[in-house]
Amino acid sequence: MVSIGVVKGADTVEIAGLGVTIAEPFEVRPGVTLIPGGPAITADEAAKYSKDFVHYAAVVRNLPYATVSIRVHVNEGGQKLVESAWNSLWIFHLLSLAARRPCCSLYAVSRGWDEVGVSAANRNIIFNPFAPAEIDATSLQWMKDNDQRFDALTGNELFNTAMRCYGNSHYLFDHDMRVMLLWSGIEGLLSVDAELTRRIALYAALMLDGTPEQKVAHFDRVKKAYAIRSKAVHGGGATQAQLELGYAEASDILLILLRRCVELGRVPTAKEMDALAAGATVA
């Protein structure tokens, strides 16, 4: 169960996360700042103030893995702080797009007059933690520049679903399941329901912001990656190494598409893609 607990007297919530490291605080938007490391809390405090075992377990299990946090500050505290912190959970998805790697929330901590608010900020308490990497200044600035467009796109059903497919895929223990969920996000985002392999590869190439040569290379890359998806779905005997490669490729392909949607501020339609594809002439 995901929740944000805010205790009396608290004006700040810190949401621990995993996926990237940063050297110093970085303001994403007014009142919302990325900070290094996890919130200051001990296992004894988690045991004392957790409302139930789930919240306690979220802290104790993931305390060693917190590499970055989102600090949410609202002067009035109370319900406004709860709402702002809850909405800030999506920033971990934006952080994934900016860093081009999996990022997720773990648990949340708030400190008030007499007690500490402790809450699980992720439904998945037990999962294989992914290795973090430092996010550079360019990626952080991309995140800040695209924050409003990303926030608006979370209301788009296609984008919202594809983003959650990306985020949830990394919790699955089996790579074939990860591959299938990632490709489900890709197919849904591109609104593809027929001639899957070529159409997905074509749409992905059209979405890419690059040279004609880069688009052709991306077209071939997507086709090859989709072949691994087909083996995973239909039980085609893919090896573990192939499934791990398929997971990495599908993850990056979906990230590229989601980032491009954020930069455009919209999700291009299948009709628009078909018009672009049909507009060229063989010379």
What is the per-residue pLDDT across 29-88, written as a single tens digit (0 to 9) for each?
Answer: 999 999 999 999 999 999 999 999 999 999 999 999 999 999 999 999 899 999 999 999
Mean pLDDT of 205-211: 88
Q: What is the pLDDT of residue 277?
A: 83
pLDDT at 1 over 70: no
Nearest 5°: phi and psi at 23? Answer: -85, -30
Q: What is the pLDDT of residue 191?
A: 85
User: Tens of pLDDT along 84-139?
Assistant: 999 999 999 999 999 999 999 999 999 999 999 999 999 998 898 988 999 999 99
The answer to whether residue 194 scores a pLDDT higher than 70 is no
Q: Beta 68-73 vs 32-36: how paired, if at all? A: antiparallel
What tens digit of pLDDT does each residue of 17-31 get? Answer: 999 999 999 999 999
The rounded radius of gyration (Å) of the Cα atoms in the chain is 20
Report the predicted TM-score, pTM, of the whole model to 2 decimal places: 0.89
pLDDT band at 240 (very low <50, low <70, confident <90, very high): confident
Q: Does the pLDDT of residue 236 top 80, yes or no?
A: no
Going edge to edge, which strands form the sheet with 68-73? Answer: 26-29, 32-36, 68-73, 12-18, 104-111, 116-120
User: What does pLDDT average to over the chain?
Assistant: 91
Average pLDDT over residues 165-182: 94
CA distance to 54, 100, 146, 178, per residue, from 139 (Å): 34, 9, 11, 25
Q: Which residues of 1-25 are buried (b: 16+ CB within 10 A; e: fewer)?
A: eeebbbbeebbbbbbbbbbbebeee
Among 87-101, 201-215, 250-264, the least confident range: 201-215
Question: How far apart are the C-alpha atoms of 91 and 151, rounded to whole Å?
Answer: 9
pLDDT the model gives residue 193: 65
CB 202 within 8 A of CB 276: no
Q: Rounded to whole angstroms, how far apart are CA atoms 166 and 164?
A: 5
Q: Give 5-20 pLDDT, tens digit per residue.
A: 888 999 999 999 999 9
How many CB atoms are closer than 10 A to CB 27? 12
- Which runs of E-coded beta strand occur in the chain? 12-18, 20-21, 26-29, 32-36, 68-73, 104-111, 116-120, 133-134
Would you call 124 helix, strand, or coil by DSSP? coil
What share of the chain in percent tops pLDDT 70?
96
